[in-house]
Structure 1
Amino acid sequence: MIRDVNIEDRPRERLLRQGAMSLSNQELLAILLRTGTKEESVLVLANRVLSVFERLHHLKHATIEEMVAIKGIGEVKAIQLLAAIELGRRLAQKQSEEKYTIRSPQDAAAYLMPDMTSLSQEHFVTLFLNVKNQIIHKQTIFIGSLNASIVHPREIFREAVKRSAASIICAHNHPSGVPTPSTEDIEVTKRLIEAGYIMGIELIDHVIIGDHQFISLKEKGYF
């Protein structure tokens, strides 16, 4: 039990003494959970949570149903964890948006992959850029199978005008993990290029995200 751990080695005391960066993922999770159960310490419970999700990265996609299915995690603990995860995600995203400049398809893919590479459904996302190619806004346009009749250029370019964007980058993921462009992908891209030309807002690229890999339709010569 946690009371059997030397007081100086307990997570909260170590955080106070050495700072949060010195703690392991298990210890940070234990602080959020606060208490264990009658059968196991909070450190053991934290370790089991990490084991269920295999790696820390997978926690950000956890649902409350998945959380409460873990023995020792009730609704209150699940809500605390999900709130902390969402707060961290928003903070990281805000910091990235404030500083991130797109200089290449690799830059766009690196920015998008953490959120898109493991999604179970297709998400169509647009990055809105200023004249310095810095991200000023990111928006999910729709969720579902990509179809030229569903992706309306007016929705994307209305937002681009609202944000005073100089250019845009579109991206979507393939849940199969294979980023090879389909006929629909190419057709959607052509429609967006034409609309962008009329609006004076350039489509810089359309990036397809797979399983830790990507394809740039610009690099592949589709436009």
Structure 2
Amino acid sequence: MGVLEYRFTIKELPAEERPREKLVKNGAESLSDAELLALIIRVGNKKRTAVELSQDILNYFGGLKSLNYLSINELTGIKGVGLAKAVQLKAVAELSRRLGTLAGEEKEVIKSPKDAAYLLMPELRYLTQEVFKLVLLDIKNQLIKMPLISKGGLTSSIVHPREVFKEAIRNSAAAVILAHNHPSGIPEPSKDDINVTERLIKAGKIIGIDVLDHIIIGDGIFISMREKGII
């Protein structure tokens, strides 16, 4: 008699391994394609969790790009994908396509610290934990991406030039703006903030990527280290 294999459902997994909890804690960028799809289709079937079913979809059709051209009938042909799940997947694919079109037509241009702060404020002003992000810009100061680099206080051990400029190089950025929040709501730079900024400016000069500014976000207010003459 064979050994009975027990399979965990998503609810039975440790909290840090569940897609929803991972997204809340680490951001959507921390999830795999299959985990993101699992949040959309929500439930799997008797034999497959939502993540496993999502991975089946990606494997069967050759990745995320396939969702753009698959028909409803093709999607429902996968065991465990009914009409409701197929419709959800097609709707998300269409939204993604439209967002991509908008991004291609109209890129955000950062002309001043206020422009960058305006983009960062909605996400950072209410956080109870300090996070460090980058604003990646192309040669025309057009926004490329705003990746999360670290969580926790700004120290040289947490915000390392290697991690900061790895993202910049990967995205072919010509310049970066450093950004983090102060959960206290008061965006006054600390000694650590200034030390880390100076270190990253020096590293950027060696690599050939300009560090234009460091913006600290408070509760509805911000400080630009460049405007304040700190850097």
Please report the TM-score for the alignment, with normalisation by the length of structure 1: 0.57
* Equivalent residue, structure 1, for 2:183: 175
Measure the CA separation in 2 of the matches of 1:211 and 1:158: 30
Measure the CA separation in 2 of the matches of 1:113 and 1:178: 13
* Equivalent residue, structure 2, for 1:209: 217
* Equivalent residue, structure 2, for 1:194: 202
Measure the CA separation in 1 of the matches of 2:99 and 2:218: 21
Q: Contact 2:177 / 2:212 at 8 angstroms: preserved in 1?
A: yes
| Paired amino acid for 1:129 | L
What is the Cα deviation at residue 142 of structure 1? 0.6
Quickly say closer, same or farther: Cα 1:200–1:104, change in 2 above 3 A.
same
Quickly say closer, same or farther: Cα 1:116–1:195, change in 2 above 3 A.
same
Q: How many positions carry a matched residue from both structures?
A: 141
1:120 aligns with 2:128: yes
Q: Contact 2:125 / 2:181 at 8 angstroms: preserved in 1?
A: yes
| Paired amino acid for 1:100 | E
Measure the CA separation in 2 of the matches of 1:117 and 1:127: 16
What is the Cα deviation at residue 145 of structure 1? 1.5
What is the Cα deviation at residue 96 of structure 1? 7.2
* Equivalent residue, structure 1, for 2:229: 221
Quickly say closer, same or farther: Cα 1:201–1:163, change in 2 above 3 A.
same
Q: Taking every aligned residue pair, what percent have the same amino acid on both sides? A: 51
What is the Cα deviation at residue 222 of structure 1? 1.3
* Equivalent residue, structure 1, for 2:17: none
Quickly say closer, same or farther: Cα 1:93–1:148, change in 2 above 3 A.
farther
Measure the CA separation in 2 of the matches of 1:213 and 1:96: 28
What is the Cα deviation at residue 93 of structure 1? 8.9
Which of these residues, 93, 101, 108, is aligned with residue 109 of structure 2? 101
Q: What is the root-mean-square deviation in Å for CA atoms of aligned residues?
A: 2.9
* Equivalent residue, structure 2, for 1:145: 153
Aligned with 1:99: secondary structure?
coil
Cα shift readout 1:17-53 (whole Å, capped 9, x = no counterpart): xxxxxxxxxxxxxxxxxxxxxxxxxxxxxxxxxxxxx
Quickly say closer, same or farther: Cα 1:193–1:108, change in 2 above 3 A.
same
Measure the CA separation in 2 of the matches of 1:116 and 1:93: 23
